[in-house]
């Protein structure tokens, strides 16, 4: 059986910003804080493609894509499309379109048929998961009231797999140099 594969972008962050996100996730992202590091999901779960072909595709896209600088200044309420779970997303102001375009390029070729058109893609780093949407909204409001600005960069794609209740990176693929 083929592994379920994802393509993630782990942000390069200032140590202080990373510590802030990690502390917030430790308090508010209990289901996922130990599953995966803070990231942008660039290609969602796919379990019926050949792993070698998937990796080759990711290499092709990475070779044609430049590093992306981003700044997040807004915490947005996110909702699960399968149940009532709510999320707190850090959404980039700068870098938003570049991350979305990288996502779009990944969903070409062998991934083209996997693109979900019923759910819009919003580049984000999830920092909280809550069963109560009002609680998640209050966390967004608290985060936004602080006026924080989280800047970083994406310099690689990580093709990853869920194994033993954790995300494991199979291969880190550098984005082309600027």
Rounded CA gap, 138 and 88, in Å?
Answer: 10
More confident residue, 100 or 49: 100
- What is the tens place of the pLDDT at every residue in 35-48? 999 999 999 888 88
Average pLDDT over the chain reads: 93
Helices 96-106/51-63 angle, 10° precision? 140
How many domains does the structure of the chain reveal? 1
- The rounded radius of gyration (Å) of the Cα atoms in the chain is 16
Q: What CA–CA distances, in Å, run from 53 to 9, 46, 143? A: 19, 12, 41
Domain CATH number, residue 26: 3.90.1140.10
Percent of all residues in the chain with a pLDDT value above 70, rounded to a whole number: 97
The reported pLDDT for the residue numbered 177 is 65
Domain that holds residue 97: 5-174
The reported pLDDT for the residue numbered 111 is 95
Contact 62, 122 (CB under 8 A): no
Q: Which of 73, 77, 176 is nearest to 130 (CA)?
A: 77
The reported pLDDT for the residue numbered 4 is 86
DSSP state of 34: T
170-176 average pLDDT score: 96
- What is the tens place of the pLDDT at every residue in 74-99? 999 998 777 789 999 999 999 999 99
- What is the tens place of the pLDDT at every residue in 128-169? 999 999 999 999 999 999 998 999 999 999 999 988 878 999
Q: How confident is the model at residue 178 (pLDDT cuts 50, 70, 90)?
A: low
Residue 1 has pLDDT above 60, yes or no: no
């Amino acid at each position: 059986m083929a592994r379920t594969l994802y393509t993630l972008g782990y942000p390069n962050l200032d140590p202080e910003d990373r510590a802030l996100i990690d502390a917030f996730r430790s308090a508010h992202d209990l289901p996922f804080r130990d599953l995966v590091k803070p990231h942008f999901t660039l290609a969602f779960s796919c379990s019926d493609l050949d792993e070698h072909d998937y990796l080759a595709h990711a290499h092709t896209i990475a070779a044609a894509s430049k590093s992306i600088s981003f700044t997040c200044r807004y915490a947005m309420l996110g909702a699960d499309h399968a149940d009532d779970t709510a999320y707190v997303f850090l959404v980039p102001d700068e870098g938003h379109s570049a991350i979305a375009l990288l996502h779009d390029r990944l969903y070409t070729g062998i991934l083209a048929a996997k693109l979900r058109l019923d759910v819009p893609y919003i580049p984000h780093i999830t920092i909280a998961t809550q069963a109560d949407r009002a609680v998640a909204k209050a966390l967004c409001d608290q985060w936004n009231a602080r006026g924080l600005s989280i800047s970083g960069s994406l310099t690689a794609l990580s093709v990853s797999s869920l194994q033993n209740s954790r995300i494991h990176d199979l291969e880190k693929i550098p984005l082309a140099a600027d």
